[in-house]
Structures are given as structure tokens and as C-alpha cells.
Amino acid sequence: MAPSLHSRPFLLLFVLLSLSILCMRSLDASEPYLTLDYYASSCPSVLEIVRKEMECAVLSDPRNAAFILRLHFHDCFVQGCDGSVLLDDTITLQGEKKASININSLDGFRLIDRIKNKLESECPGIVSCADILTVAARDAVILVGGPYWDVPLGRKDSTTANYDLATANLPAANEDLLSIISKFLYQGLSVTDVVALSGAHTIGMARCENFRARIYGDFKGTSGNNPVSNTYLSNLKSICPATGGGEDNTAGMDYVTPNYFDNSFYHLLLKGEGLLNSDQELYSSLFGIQTKGLVKKYAEDSLAFFQQFSDSMVKLGNITNADSFSTGEVRKNCRFVNT
């Protein structure tokens, strides 16, 4: 018997999940190489140094927290968390910074350089750029009001980057929910991780080119006719014209508290006001039965969100590239492999 219209989404989701699990890259979430006290004797002040630099940076501009958090995510989804995203292009190496998903979009590199320089003068050649980025992302979240978690350490920096994988592995704003879920499953993350980690969009900004399709598409449909949403939508349209131009104009993804890490992002999704198509789909997609439930849960219970976000960030940070442990290094300069 052909599946009914109602059972079809379940069937599709089931097939997709099974396929994704089959082709999942091998990942050990309890990464054996990483330990909490990795630098205890070789660089005992590492956490304090990262924390101090992040404090100054976030105090001077809270957007720095968003830059670093996103940079860490974009590092980990391409060959694991190995600092590959930090590498500049050279004659012999094509970096990831110019991949379409990253170009004109990532920032925070100079802040990482600054932390690295401090650490090189304190404990030369000891702390990897990948570890710096992972700890800095944790501190970024705390500094804008989010939860704390312990960061396992001991990552090595890659000697390679992968431009093509940056395009293939990283999710985009107008990608549908099932495709995004499959990208997370491929990394060994779960549907719960997708919803919790998307909560990172409680801070930071998106550029017009990433939300134009949404505001001239189904924003009205998901947000209904409530006057507050209408005013919000008109404002977004003035930032991001339909006919083009203003590609780099920005809007906060959580317009209520854009500089504060809280669960108001999920409240926006309940109201149908998510800025990115990909975010709103978590609540509104026909295929999002499980994700919708989680959005409701995190909107109602910020503690549950904080707990899951912490756990999911540890999982994200533990996506490691087994190769980088054998061929990796501790870069002297995060932008270049050692000579």
C-alpha cells in the first residue's frame, strides 16, 4: 500500500536518517585523545590567558562572542576541530576562508591571533590553535550570559585545509531541514544537537543575502498577521531590499536580545519570526516533528536549553580528525602551517 500523505514525511525522515547513519564518518564522541588537564603542567595559565583576552574583546564589542562561536563551528565541520578554518591562502595551500559559505562572513581571526601571541610568549609551541578556538568559543558564550562547560583539550592543528569540504559540509541559510539534519548526522551529531546548537543564533547578526529569500518568502505565512511581526518585517525589508543591493546589511537573528545568550531565539521561532529559513524550519517544517517539540521545550525551559547546549558544544568540539593526531602540529602562527 502506498504511504498516506501523513506517513510520508515520517517515512522520508526515517530513510534519510538511516542513510545518514550508514555513511556517518567515524566519530568517537568521548574522544580518547582529549583530556581536561592536558595543559596542566605544560601551560597552566592557558585558560586564564584565553579568558582575559576574550573578556576585553567581548566587553569592547559583544559581536566578538558571535564571531568566535561561529568560527569554532565552521572549523569543526571541516576535517574536525583542527584549526583548518584559520589558515590563510598561500601558493601551496588553498584555505577555507574564501569558500562561498565563509567569504565576507567569518570574522574573529585577529582576536585568535592576539590570544595565540600571548600564549606563544607564555608557553611557546604548546597550545594548538584548535584548542584556543574551542576554549575561546566556550568563554564567548559565558561572557554574553550563556552556560559554562568543561572543555576537553589536546587537539592538534592540521597542516591542510579543505575548501571543497567547507562548501559541502557546512549548512546554509536556505537549505531545507532534512539536508541540514543529514549534515549534522554525518558529523556524529543528533537531531537534538541540531536544535540546541542552532540556539547559538540567539547572538550575532546575519547579512541580507542570507535572509532575503525568507523575508520576501514565507515570513508572512509563518508569523501571521500580528502587528508586531508586520512592523518587524517592514524593518527587515528596509534593511534588505527585494531588488538587490545591501547584501552586507545586517540584522540580529534574535532581535529581542541580540547580544545576550538566552532562549528568546526559540520564542521567536514559536511566533514564526525566525530570520533564517533554516531556523524557522526547525519549528515550521512538515518534516520537523521532533525538532518542533525541542523548540517548544527550549522556549519553555531555558535551563534545559543551557544544559543541552553545553553537552552539544562538547560533542561539537570533540569532532576530531584522527589524521591530525598523527600528522598534526601546534602551529606557531594560526594562519600558517609551520615550516
Contact call for residues 268 and 201 (beta carbons, < 8 A): no
Look at residues 334, 336, 335, 337 and name the one whose alpha carbon lies nearest to residue 120. Answer: 334
Cell 541540531 belongs to which residue? 194
Q: Does 197 bind ligand HEM (CB under 6 A)?
A: yes
Q: Which of 13, 85, 144, 206 contacts ligand HEM by CB under 6 A?
A: 206
Distances (CA, A) of 131 to 87, 100, 186, 323: 15, 25, 22, 16
Query: In the complex with ligand HEM, which residue's Cβ is closer, 40 or 103?
Result: 103
Distance between CA atoms of residues 109 and 85, nearest Å: 9
Amino acid at 51: R
Is 121 marked as binding a ligand? no
Using the contact rule CB under 6 A, the part of the chain among 4-12, 152-160, 198-206, 215-223 near ligand HEM is 198-206
Q: Does 69 bind ligand HEM (CB under 6 A)?
A: yes
Q: Does 201 bind ligand HEM (CB under 6 A)?
A: yes
**Residue numbers 121-160 binding ligand HEM by CB under 6 A:** none
Distance between CA atoms of residues 310 and 150, nearest Å: 9
Q: Which of 264, 278, 280, 285 contacts ligand HEM by CB under 6 A?
A: 278
Catalytic residue selected from 6, 72, 74, 267: 74
Query: In the complex with ligand HEM, which residue's Cβ is closer, 50 or 206?
Result: 206
Q: Give the contacts of 41 (CB within 8 A, at least 6 positions apart).
A: none
Query: In the complex with ligand HEM, which residue's Cβ is closer, 63 or 331?
Result: 63
Q: Does 331 bind ligand HEM (CB under 6 A)?
A: no
Look at residues 173, 146, 148, 184 and name the one whose alpha carbon lies nearest to residue 27. Answer: 184
Q: Does 194 bind ligand HEM (CB under 6 A)?
A: yes
Contact call for residues 237 and 215 (beta carbons, < 8 A): yes
**Least Å from the CB of residue 14 to ligand HEM:** 21
Using the contact rule CB under 6 A, the part of the chain among 2-10, 64-72, 143-151, 160-168 near ligand HEM is 64-72
Q: Does 168 bind ligand HEM (CB under 6 A)?
A: no
What are the start-end ranges of the H helices in 152-225?
163-169, 177-186, 191-198, 208-215, 219-223
Query: In the complex with ligand HEM, which residue's Cβ is closer, 198 or 223?
Result: 198
Q: Does 200 bind ligand HEM (CB under 6 A)?
A: yes
Q: Does the annotation count 74 as an active-site position? A: yes
Burial of 33 (0-12, 13-18, 19+ CB in 10 A): middle
Q: Does 66 bind ligand HEM (CB under 6 A)?
A: yes
Is 4 marked as binding a ligand? no
Distance between CA atoms of residues 208 and 242, nearest Å: 10
The catalytic residues are 74
| Binding positions for ligand HEM, rule: CB under 6 A | 63, 66-67, 69-70, 73, 105, 171-173, 180, 194, 197-198, 200-201, 203-207, 210, 276, 278
